[in-house]
Structure 1
Amino acid sequence: MDEQLLDAVCDRLKPVLYTENSYVIREGDPVGEMLFVMRGKLISATTNGGRTGFFNAVYLKASDFCGEDLLTWALDPQPSSHFPISTRTVQALTEVEAFALAAEDLKSVASQFRRLHSKQLQHTFKFDLSLSLSLSASLGCFRLAKPDLDLIYRFYSVQWRTWGASFIQAAWRRHCRRKLAKSLRDEEDRLRDALANQDRERQRKRDEAAASSSLSLGATLYASRFASNVLHSLRHNISNLPPRYTLPLLPQKPTEPDFTVDHTSDP
């Protein structure tokens, strides 16, 4: 990040203080600033728009940031006149010191940065993390040497981590469902083969079966009835497998800014 641009960003930062148990922002409220945590501990939680049975929470500490919903809005060449809606509720668990970057200031910096570096930003979030990490480094939180900014941003972004974890869980549940269905089908095939072999054996020994005792015949009928009941139970289990865990139930994938076209014009 250009040092002059970084200095301009730092000049726009405003120190803020949150008391214990106070709310930074609530899910569904407009996001008006991005927050860089310097001291203290917060919890960031989401219900994915109030979806029943869904809850995700992570803890934020020094060097973390929140309000990344604002980044996509700021990097949009034609942003909406309304601030983006927060997808998470952020609450201070202890007294928290942070630096806030207001939406209009972030938008101004994003516009300058996009003009200067549009060719290097094709389909990436490099501005997002370079801003976050540069600010954190300048403020003495940590330093990284030539990181893969794109991957690291997604790692530290709460939205991307939540979406990624949900996607992995959905894939795992689909895998378990397919594995269970295959196991039940294999068991049904084995029982069907066993019944077929039993029928062939009974056909071969039909003459002998006519002379066999009624007890032996009763045992054969009992075994056949038992196998039939097992097959029926297996078919019932397959038909009553839990519904497929489909992607529409996942949290919405975070939106990436489109840097394919430079919408700004230099004077």
Structure 2
Amino acid sequence: MDPLFFYTPVINEDMKCLELDKNLKKIALALRSVADLFYLVDIIFQIYQLNVTSKISINGATFRLERVKSAKKILLSCIVIDTFAVLPVPQVVFFIFFTKRRGSRSFIRMFMNSLILFQYVPRVLRIYLSGNTPNIQTRVGILVKAVFNFFPFILAGHILGGIWYFFAIQRERTCWEYGCRENGCGSANFDCNDNIFRNVTLLNVLCPTNPPNATLFDFGIFLGAVQSDMLRSTNFSKKLLQCFWWGLRNLSSLGQNLEPSGSNQWENVFAVFTLLSGMMLFLIYLNATLQTLSVQLEKIRSDERIFRRKMQLISPEIDLWLSKNDLPKDLKMVSGRTEKHLRTVIVENVQRHLQENKDVDVENILAVLPLRHRRGIMSLLRLTSLKKVSMLESMDEKVLKAISEHLKLETYNEGSYIVPEGEPLEKMMFITQGTAWSYPPTPSSKGGITITSSNTKWLEKGDFYGEELLIWALKSTPSSELPMSTRILKSQTEVEAFAIRAKDLKTIVAKFWWHFRTELRHLEDFQLEHWHNLAASSVQENWRRYCARANKRKLRNWRSKFIQIN
């Protein structure tokens, strides 16, 4: 906001004098005052922090650090920088000395211009220190950092354009002073508030701008500002955009478009300053970009090292999980348009989760797999569990798949009764995780006391419970009730198991009854009556379907013959 002060001087062309844009003056003062208020608050806070950190406490006693150390901290801190930045240099230069300056004393002009340039040193230094804050390694942080690295170029263009406008005002005033000194056109004070008569016609002849005359007076790099009439306008937006464009253009070209006059030292200094500023900004931006790339590259390398370490730890766990679940590593699975081994599919999905910074629970490895692969592996796990039952070991694959479709994964907490005493046996279970024990009901089993009976059977992963339910499904009639459980099943740890309900099992047995014909030989006559009826109805149903298909074929044949005749 300090460059706003550069735009406050305005040339009154009719009177050949300088005045201040009152509206812009008020806005600039208000904005600068608000900024100074924030600086003062920050300075007070930093002094308070230094006062707190300059005390140490040992065994309840407080000691002050040496004054030299405290002074060093102050010098190393931003307090001194902020103090210089808050000094009211623009207000003093523009509103007190600039319009009131008399004569052409070069040392006054040099001193004022030096103050104007050096007032930005603490501000620029403060911005540079702010840019060295710790990097924020997030997408938003990287974006903010990139914008902040480009911000000094925008700010420098704004400042340089304002200085160019201010020096152009001075350059035209210098022409007036030179003309009055050489030709005696009146007072050399060019403040519009003094109401002094000036020979405007003579000044127009001695300071021509359209067209310019370098023999009379060379405006140098400020000729464009003088010819554009923006020095005489109070349209702030027009002046700001034009000067901002000039600043950006010359910064980006390192001042190659500038052709300063040889008679004005400050013009040459300003041209050199523009070139050095452009080079410095380019080097700062290049350095910041390289630092950002270096930090990102180091982060990528660090993430890769962490990723490789995690995969080294997880890879044996994957092999162990496959072994525990009796799943072959080279089992082919469809992944996209190709077939891949089961282990490869699991490893690829684990890698994807780790790259997305997601946790991977090896005990629940199915959670990282896509739904189609999860269903395929779950089906394999169910079939593996079913084939451990003696009655289903050599069963047709269709029957096993039908049973597996009705298996539901259930979880039981530690110490819970899965099948209580005296309850109907309503499901058959295949344990996949955890341990449980099965024991016969005894008078001492109630109340949760420890069972030490020799009939206790431990069940763990791969074991099943409730095989008698399958026998019941074979022997039962439509009106048969569920069998009573002959043993109590209680979880020792958290247990996961596939379970199939009695009604679902009975439905499957009835649907595929001919696959159980070996077991049907051992049934009694009254038990076989139900299966005889079921077989008869099945034969009738198949005969009806056969007749329906035969009739459809005959109808198609007659229809085709009729079409040929016509």
> What is the TM-score with the length of structure 1 in the denominator?
0.44
Higher relative helix content: 2
Rg: which structure is higher?
A: 2
Report which structure shows greater RCO (CA 8 Å, sep ≥6): 1
